Amino acid sequence: MEAWFLSDIHIKTMQERNSDILLRFLHSLREKNPAEIHLFLLGDIFDLWIGGHSVFVKKFQPLVDAIADLKMAGARITYIEGNHDVHIDAFWKKKLGIEVFVEAQYYNINGLVVRVEHGDLINLDDKAYLRYRGVIRHPLVEPLGHLIPGKVWEEVGNYASRKSRARSQVYRVANEDKLVQMIRRHAHRVFDEKPYDLIVSGHMHVFDDYKFQVGIRNAQSVNLGSWYGDQVKVLKLSGTQTEWVTLK
């Protein structure tokens, strides 16, 4: 089994560089043996996707078609929701049959215990975000995601995204070492809850590949960073070895 992990692409339109890169990557997986591929989409693949609204399907149709084709060809695809793609099971699960989760999940891949998650629970000090997450994920709020027209969500979401991105980018540049330490503390904390061989997360927009040992057991923590920089990287797990693959 060949597993691929990607997150935090934040695609806004089909006319941007990262849309082209992702589309080429999906086509390259289709040309392999899809039955031996497990693709993990670990959240914020799109800069905004709320519910099952057709406005988002149409906006990103080529990517939707490529993912659907890969699934139909036999690949296993797991989508962990981020904070920019919310309540998406209405389309991705119900229409395409793709696994959709909100919280961290565990898989046995090639004999390794692998924990996957978006990573938005890494920073437990971000009380404002945790309150927001509690509201947006509340069962009573979810129906609003489907009832409010997609065009309304698109306008509101695009405005909010521009504001938050400007603030968060400055913060990340100034606090990268602090964020790396948060990622690594989280890796140790959840290992104590349930041991694993590999944990893969996103959300923090910081590339980090960290190996550690607990007792006699070795573990690896990977944060996938983002696709904002000049170099686009994804994580590949082949056999029991991880590898960073640069996409063009």
pLDDT in tens, 207-245: 999 999 999 999 999 999 999 989 999 999 999 999 999
Given this model, what pLDDT does residue 135 score?
80
Which segments of 73-194 does DSSP mark as H helices, in order? 89-92, 127-136, 142-147, 150-174, 176-193
CA 167/CA 185 separation, integer angstroms:
24
What's the CA angle centered on 98, arms 58 and 15, to 5 degrees?
30
Given this model, what pLDDT does residue 148 score?
63
**Six-digit token string for 27:** 């086509």
Prediction pTM value: 0.91
Given this model, what pLDDT does residue 93 score?
96
CA 54/CA 60 separation, integer angstroms:
10
232-238 and 217-224 as β-strands: parallel, antiparallel, unpaired? unpaired
The domain total for the chain is 1
**Six-digit token string for 116:** 């996957």
Residue 196, amino acid: Y
pLDDT in tens, 104-118: 999 999 999 999 999
Those residues of the chain that have pLDDT short of 50 are: none
Given this model, what pLDDT does residue 151 score?
61
Given this model, what pLDDT does residue 138 score?
77
Looking at 65-138, which runs of residues are DSSP E strands?
Answer: 76-80, 85-86, 99-101, 105-109, 112-116
Expressed as residue numbers, the domain containing 218 is: 2-247
Q: DSSP secondary-structure letter at 36?
A: G
Given this model, what pLDDT does residue 175 score?
84
Contact present, 86 and 50 (Cβ < 8 Å): yes
Contact present, 42 and 120 (Cβ < 8 Å): no
Domain holding 112: CATH number? Answer: 3.60.21.10
Looking at 22-96, which runs of residues are DSSP E strands?
Answer: 37-41, 49-50, 76-80, 85-86
